[in-house]
């Protein structure tokens, strides 16, 4: 492990090539010294910049058992659960998400999401295209950059297989596999045991010394290629603010219980901590390692719709509603866009196992905060929930909407066009 705590006091012998490569190899973490200093120089009281939290409901949640029930559909389509009123007149949710139903007046809902990829993958919804690996978070990190010391793009949960894509590894997310312990242990944020962070009082000098090292090794192409990432690694290593942002032990037990004593709830809480500290884009993946935890409810392997009733919907209902409330309580709601969506919805008909299969042709996405109009419903599905009845919204349209809400000009900035194609922001949301 690199003894980066000794960087300021380096002797005239200079940096060894091994140490140089260790600094660069601490991650494609992407924050340069100039960016850090610009962030620190921002005047107090400046309007808070916008962030985004994407809650990726891995497995494909049923829109009919969440945000688009069909109480008047025939029995084979309707399913076993009833519809309840929400806080917006004329809008109903499934009875399995009552807490979110009471918060619909703080949300916006798209009921006409659609694409044609019938496979478990974050592509195309989290990239805008059916064959891309460039995630929404990477584009936001590229166009908007970091805020102060925090990494601009963080992924919580196991890997999704998307990231920097065509933008390169420098825009891959920082990954947190499991935040549910007393403290997240992240080796790339650790200092030597004998050099506590409190002793790193002069971070500017440390980072400047890293820059001098890079310039001294200018002849090494290998080192030069790490120009963007090695300074960010040093910044993360020496920032108590960054390490503390990832530490859920800093939160009161009462608030942790409010989010839910489970992976999803605690991931939502971590996401709030990260955006509060300055991360621009946090991507949370729903459980994926145990079949019972997945939204992929076919009914052949486990108890059909019972999983929706007993585990999936209650955890979503509790965790997402707690996140909405917490952001509002902390004055972060207007500056934080929240999106809850999966790769597709479920079939309008109940299968022979008493559940539903994959259905990308029509599904829902729930949004909140970030300057969105509240209580708005975009689009509608047909009588059975099988196809958009009007105002279809594709992944590229969703991406363009997110970018616009986060301050990326999708009309006049030609650099963003490769990442949205023909997509346009949804007019009712921007």
CATH of the domain at 51: 3.40.720
Task: With respect to residue 395, please indicate whether it lies within any of the assigned structural domains.
Answer: no
Nearest to 134 by CA among 109, 170, 100: 170
Six token digits for residue 318: 């509790």
pLDDT of residue 231: 55
pLDDT of residue 31: 38
376: three-class secondary structure by DSSP: strand
Task: With respect to residue 415, please indicate whether it lies within any of the assigned structural domains.
Answer: no
pLDDT of residue 291: 60
Task: With respect to residue 24, please indicate whether it lies within any of the assigned structural domains.
Answer: yes
Q: What sign does the dihedral 410-412-418-424 (CA atoms) show?
A: positive
Q: Are residues 176 and 221 in the same domain?
A: no
Say if CB 165 and CB 183 are below 8 A apart: no
Q: Are residues 237 and 366 in the same domain?
A: no
- The helices-and-strands tally (H runs, E runs) of the chain is 14, 14
Task: With respect to residue 77, please indicate whether it lies within any of the assigned structural domains.
Answer: yes
Q: Are residues 108 and 78 in the same domain?
A: yes
Q: Are residues 104 and 210 in the same domain?
A: no
pTM: 0.82
Task: With respect to residue 416, please indicate whether it lies within any of the assigned structural domains.
Answer: no
Q: Are residues 143 and 235 in the same domain?
A: no
d(CA 398, CA 419): 11
Q: What residue numbers bound the domain in which 110 lies? A: 47-115+133-180+262-296+314-373+383-389
- Residue 375 half-sphere exposure toward CB, CA atoms < 13 A: 8
pLDDT of residue 238: 62
Q: Are residues 64 and 20 in the same domain?
A: no
Per-residue pLDDT of the chain (430 residues; tens, 9 = 90+): 222 223 233 333 344 444 433 443 333 333 333 343 344 334 455 678 999 999 999 999 999 999 999 999 998 899 999 999 999 999 999 999 999 999 999 999 999 999 999 999 999 999 999 999 999 999 999 999 999 889 999 999 999 999 999 999 999 999 998 887 644 545 444 444 444 444 444 445 545 555 555 566 554 544 444 444 555 655 665 678 888 899 999 999 999 999 999 999 999 999 999 999 999 999 999 986 556 678 999 987 666 788 899 999 999 999 999 999 999 999 999 999 999 999 999 999 999 999 999 999 999 999 999 999 999 999 999 999 999 999 999 999 999 999 999 999 999 999 999 999 999 999 999 9
Stated length of the chain: 430
| Cis peptide upstream of residue 109 (ω within 30 degrees of 0) | no
Q: Are residues 282 and 267 in the same domain?
A: yes
Task: With respect to residue 406, please indicate whether it lies within any of the assigned structural domains.
Answer: no
Q: Are residues 64 and 91 in the same domain?
A: yes
Using the CB atoms, write b or e for 45-74: b if 16+ within 10 Å.
eeeebbbbbbbbbbbbbbbbbbbbbbeebe
Task: With respect to residue 149, please indicate whether it lies within any of the assigned structural domains.
Answer: yes
Number of domains composing the chain: 2
Q: Are residues 137 and 279 in the same domain?
A: yes
Q: Are residues 153 and 287 in the same domain?
A: yes
Task: With respect to residue 196, please indicate whether it lies within any of the assigned structural domains.
Answer: no
d(CA 255, CA 411): 41
Residues 6 or more apart whose CB falls under 8 angstroms from that of 243 comprise 186, 189, 197
Q: Are residues 166 and 284 in the same domain?
A: yes
Angstrom distances, CA of residue 303 to CA of 33, 311, 378: 53, 11, 33
Q: Are residues 154 and 276 in the same domain?
A: yes
């Amino acid at each position: 492990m690199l003894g980066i705590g000794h960087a300021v006091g380096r002797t005239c012998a200079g940096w060894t090539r091994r140490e140089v490569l260790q600094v660069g190899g601490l991650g494609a973490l992407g924050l340069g010294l100039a960016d850090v200093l610009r962030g620190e120089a921002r005047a107090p009281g400046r309007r808070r910049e916008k962030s985004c939290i994407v809650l990726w409901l891995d497995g494909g949640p049923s829109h009919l058992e969440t945000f688009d029930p069909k109480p008047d559909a025939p029995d084979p389509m309707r399913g076993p659960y009833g519809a309840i009123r929400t806080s917006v007149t004329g809008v109903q949710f499934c009875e399995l998400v009552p807490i979110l139903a009471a918060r619909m007046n703080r949300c916006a809902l798209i009921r006409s999401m659609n694409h044609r990829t019938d496979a478990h993958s974050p592509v195309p919804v989290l990239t805008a295209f059916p064959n891309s690996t460039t995630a929404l978070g990477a584009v936001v990190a590229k166009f908007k950059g970091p805020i102060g010391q925090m990494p601009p793009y963080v992924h919580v949960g196991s890997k999704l297989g998307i990231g920097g894509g065509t933008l390169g590894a420098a825009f891959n997310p920082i990954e947190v596999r499991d935040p549910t312990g007393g403290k997240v242990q992240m080796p790339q944020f650790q200092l030597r045991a004998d050099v506590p962070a409190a002793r790193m009082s002069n971070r500017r000098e440390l980072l400047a010394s890293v820059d001098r090292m890079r310039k001294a090794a200018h002849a090494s192409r290998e080192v030069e290629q790490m120009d963007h990432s090695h300074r960010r690694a040093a910044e993360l290593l020496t920032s108590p603010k960054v390490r503390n942002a990832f530490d859920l032990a800093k939160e009161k037990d009462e608030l942790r219980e409010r989010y839910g004593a489970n992976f999803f709830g605690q991931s939502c809480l971590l996401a709030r901590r990260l955006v509060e500290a300055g991360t621009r884009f946090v991507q949370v993946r729903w459980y994926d390692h145990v079949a019972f935890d997945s939204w992929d409810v076919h009914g052949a392997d486990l108890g059909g719709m019972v999983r929706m009733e007993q585990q999936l919907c209650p955890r979503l209902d509790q965790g997402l509603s707690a996140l909405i409330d917490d952001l509002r309580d902390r004055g972060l709601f207007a500056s934080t866009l929240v999106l809850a969506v999966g790769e597709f919805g479920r079939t309008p008909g109940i299968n022979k196992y008493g559940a539903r299969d994959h259905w990308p042709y029509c599904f829902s996405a729930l949004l909140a905060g970030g300057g969105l109009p509240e209580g708005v419903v975009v689009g509608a599905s047909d009588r059975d929930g099988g196809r958009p009845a009007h105002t279809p919204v594709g992944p590229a349209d969703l991406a363009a909407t997110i970018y616009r809400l986060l301050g990326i000009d999708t009309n006049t900035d030609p650099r963003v066009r490769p990442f949205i194609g023909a997509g346009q922001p949804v007019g009712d949301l921007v």
